[in-house]
A and B are shown apart, each in its own frame.
Chain A
Amino acid sequence: MRSLLVLAALAHGVAADPLDELGFGAAATGMANARGALAVGAESIHVDPSGVALAERPEVLLGWQIAHDRLEINGDAASVLDAHGTSFGLTVPFRIRGLRFGAGTALYLPDQYLTRIQLTPIGEPHYLRFESATQRLVVEPVVAVALGDWSFGAGASVLADARTRDLVFDVGVVAGTKQGEARLDIELPIRIAPLLGVRWRPSRKVEVGMSFRGELSLDLALDIVANIDVPNIVTGDATIALRSVSHFTPARATLAAAFYPRADLALTAQATWENWSALGSGVPDLRILLALDIEPPLVDSMQPPARFHDIVTLRAGAEWRTRCYRLRGGAGYLPSPVPAQTGLTSFADGDRTLATLGAGLRIAPNAILAQPIDLDVALAWHHVFDDLVRKDIALSPGGAFSSGGEILQASASATVRF
């Protein structure tokens, strides 16, 4: 007797880059991440790599941040994990033939997992964008060069896929006893998205920056083959194949500006386009073909396209700085890319408003310290607008769910110069 089982899963999880949500360093968090035209040195690696060439000395940024979700579905707490992790940035500026260069790397390490892939059944209401938004590693090596009033940066945002090259389970009979043995070959191949940035300072009071990051995702491909050879009982193969695309991070382009009305004050604004429409399907897709003489044959699951739409997020911030202290504030409006969920899928999401506050202390060089150290803290409050989704009566009679809530963030970081 021969049995053949094919089980194929195609699933998607979507999320912005964790550092887009949390900010890279507390100075960014305190200004609603609107520092694209202001950041210099280690903190600029993520928002605009061209700022790496503008640092005066080697810098290390070390930070920790936490996001506590108070999101609800149908009035109950949604099962969204709190996110917390450590940020690390290193930049080294250097000169070659009078030109200013810089190189650096940004890392974000979630405390619990380097990456988590969570996929929920199609009809279950869940926060698709927030479930694992901050549950992944970020690695961003960059280089930059400054030419007069201009600076240019380029680098990569690095992630990894996970896939099996060989995962075979042999079931047989040895000395009359049913027995199995397995061999395994799993690899984590590298995935890369480009990072580009350009900064221009047309006058002492104005800076303009543009940056681009390509699309990135984590693809999981697990193929498990069971070769079964039990004489007089069953002989054949069983194959379990899982395919998922997780942590879909859309391509984005940012235009940022900074204005200095006074020497101690900076005002910033930033608009970012995010290409969410490139997401093919936002739902788990599982297909089974089972040739075990079972009637009726199994039915494939429905795969409606996600139909997410592109969005433009708007952020603004202000920083007041003295020789030793900094005060920061920011605000943002972040529309949702998720369309009305009247059909089979039930993605909870909503437009967001964002308000932030931050403060910083600069410890100047002294008898012990050779270079200044910046210590920064910040708080952020995201409000996800309440939404009541009523399903199409033809697809889900009487179906409905409500969503909304808050996300609270706190961040602390230190920047050390060498």
Chain B
Amino acid sequence: MANPLEVVGLTSRHAGRAGANVAAVDDAAAVYYNPAGLVARPGAELSIGGVGARANLDGSGSLPDPFGVQLAVRVPLPLRGPAKDRVVIGMALHLLPSDIAHVVAPAPDQPYYAYYGDRMSRLVVMPGAAVRFGRLAVGASIDMLAGVDGQIVATEGATRAIDSRIDVQIPTVARVGAGATWQLTRCVRIAIAYRQRFEIPVETSVRTLVAGEPIDLDLAVSGQFTPHVVTVGGAWERGRHVVSLDARYARWSDYAGPYVRVESRLPLVGDVPALSPRVPFEDTFGARAGLESKLGRWTARGGYGFETSPSPAVQAGVTNLLDGPRHTFAAGGGRTFGRLRVDAHVQLELVGGRELVKEVDNDNPDPFKTLRDEDPMLDGVQITNPGFPSIRGGGHVLSAGLTVEVGL
């Protein structure tokens, strides 16, 4: 799932294992990785940390909002007897220094990485809860944010002054995550987690009638898209060592694309159809593996992950989506000080190189399949697409973070 936590992880303890946590997670970060993990062990804790990322991706600028503050907390309900430590609630936050969210929709011909895009640029508020029944634990969380939906109507009044009526709503957007774990043996736990598709809908309708001329603009875009994701995994824990392995599927084929859809009427121009290419995004598959070893008060960890690209490898038309397959390498360590633990990590995502070669066909109306000459009346090819005749993508994203965890 591509939100800030997918790019940089939640807490250094888990980012240092490359996110291979669906069965291994057993602390407050379970709200994000697998809510059932909230109840994996007794206790309550609060984690506070910071994380930053730096991108070097061909054809695209740096990541917006590369820094975030993270907070995760977990407490069992105050129950006694057989219910003690079996019902746990938690919350995870990823806070940006200056924004709640930042929605970016590029022009269709702009070189762009659909996976990264504006992913780093949103607040994450994720409450969750879990219950344990013997070896089975189940949990759920909610991923909350807001969209923008509204209408602006302006018309001339009797005196030619403008009367306006504005109704802009920022509706709540809430999507569900759920998970289950099964303690197979004393050392082995298996798990499954699901996260519902998430997006921030931005829709603005402007209706104006000025001097008898209509100026209408209806804008719609889905920002911060994250697909349905299913992850299954297992964790083996014995003594001082934990080994975890995850496999995941993300349903990107539902994605309509990052582009703005516009319907408009402009003075002297009339109706203008929007150029909004339909991109056949592809479902992605990935695998992650993590290892953690304790050496006295010290802990060392590392991990590796791979995921296929959601963007099609052939884009001969207007779009320049440059995502390639991603390889993730992570390493980290930590030390305990009584009830306090300090963890740090570094993570490198290598984005595979990809070359998009354009084709020109003035008879093909599909803007995704081919380019068209912008002025066929002139000699030569008149195309300003920055990807023409070809464009190459690839690069890396480096992130690092520090987390302090205190037992409550």
Whether A298 pairs with B81 at a CB distance below 8 angstroms is: no
Count of inter-chain pairs, beta carbons less than 8 A: 238
Chain B, residue nearest A159 (CB): B100
Let me know if B187 is at the binding interface, CB within 8 A: no
Instruction: Name the interface size band of chain B.
Output: 35 or more
A190 to B95, CA, bound (A): 11
Q: Which of the residues A5, A184, A298 comes within 8 Å of B162, measured between beta carbons?
A: A298
With A3-B267, A5-B215 known as contacts, the answer to whether A368 contacts B79 (CB < 8 A) is yes
Let me know if A244 and B166 touch, CB within 8 A. Answer: yes
8 Å CB contacts to A: which residues of B94-153?
Answer: 98-110, 121, 146, 148, 150, 152
Known: A113-B169, A230-B269, A371-B78. A189 touches B275 (CB 8 A): no
- Choose among B84, B167, B210 the residue that contacts A117 (Cβ–Cβ < 8 A): B167
- The reply to whether A9 and B166 form a contact with Cβ atoms under 8 Å apart is yes
Q: Does B373 contact A (CB under 8 A)?
A: yes
B-facing residues in A71-118 (Cβ within 8 Å)? 92, 109-118
- B408 contacts A183, CB within 8 Å? no
> Could you tell me the distance between the alpha carbons of A287 and B169 in the complex, rounded to whole angstroms?
23
Contacts of A170 in B (CB 8 A): 107
Q: How far is the CB of A158 from chain B (nearest CB, A)?
A: 9
Q: How far is the CB of A105 from chain B (nearest CB, A)?
A: 10
Inter-subunit contact A182/B165 (CB<8 Å): no
Check A290 against B211 for contact (C-beta < 8 Å): yes
Shortest CB–CB separation between residue B271 and chain A, in angstroms? 8
Knowing A187-B99, A416-B77, the reply to whether A178 touches B219 (Cβ < 8 A) is no
Interface size classification for chain A: 35 or more
Kindly state the separation between the CA atoms of A113 and B167 in the bound complex, as whole angstroms.
Answer: 12
Q: What string of 1s and 0s marks CB contacts (under 8 Å) between B61-104 and chain A?
A: 00000000000000111111101100001000000001111111
The reply to whether B167 and A118 contact each other, CB–CB distance below 8 Å, is yes
Beyond A7-B210, A169-B217, A416-B78, is A184–B272 a contact (Cβ under 8 Å)? no
Residues of A within 8 A of B264 (CB): 169, 171, 180, 226
Whether a CB of chain B sits under 8 angstroms from the CB of A417 is yes
Using a CB-CB cutoff of 8 Å, which residues 285-309 of chain A contact chain B? 286-288, 290, 292, 294, 296, 298-302
Given that A181-B107, A183-B106, A284-B166 are known contacts, is A234 also in contact with B268, CB under 8 Å in the complex?
Answer: yes
Taking the nearest CB of chain A, how far is it from the CB of B299, in angstroms?
25
Question: B162 near A175 (CB under 8 angstroms)?
Answer: no
Q: A226-B266, A292-B211 are in contact. Are A184 and B274 (CB under 8 A)?
A: no
Partner of A370, one of B79, B105, B162, B166: B79
Which B residues touch A111, using CB under 8 A? 172
Given contacts A121-B164, A179-B275, contact A188 B102 (CB under 8 A): yes
**Which residues from chain B contact A171 at a C-beta distance below 8 Å?**
264, 266, 269, 272
Cβ B44 vs Cβ A418 within 8 A: yes
Interface of A is mostly: strand
B201 to chain A, nearest CB (A): 12
Given contacts A182-B262, A183-B105, contact A121 B272 (CB under 8 A): no
Q: Does residue A395 face the partner (Cβ distance < 8 Å to B)? A: no
A222 at the interface (CB under 8 A from B): yes
Q: Which of B107, B162, B260 has the most CB of A within 10 A?
A: B162
Complex Cα spacing A180 to B121, Å: 27
Q: How far is the CA of A180 from the CA of B269 in the complex (A)?
A: 11
Asked if B168 contacts A185 (CB within 8 A), the reply is no
A-B contact pairs, 20 of them (CB 8 A): A7-B154, A58-B75, A92-B408, A160-B100, A175-B362, A178-B269, A183-B260, A185-B102, A186-B223, A187-B121, A224-B206, A228-B266, A298-B160, A298-B161, A298-B210, A301-B157, A367-B80, A369-B79, A370-B80, A418-B78
20 additional contacts, CB 8 Å, given A113-B171, A189-B98, A244-B166? A113-B169, A114-B172, A117-B150, A137-B146, A169-B262, A170-B107, A178-B269, A180-B262, A181-B274, A182-B107, A184-B103, A186-B223, A189-B99, A189-B100, A226-B264, A228-B266, A238-B215, A288-B162, A296-B160, A368-B81
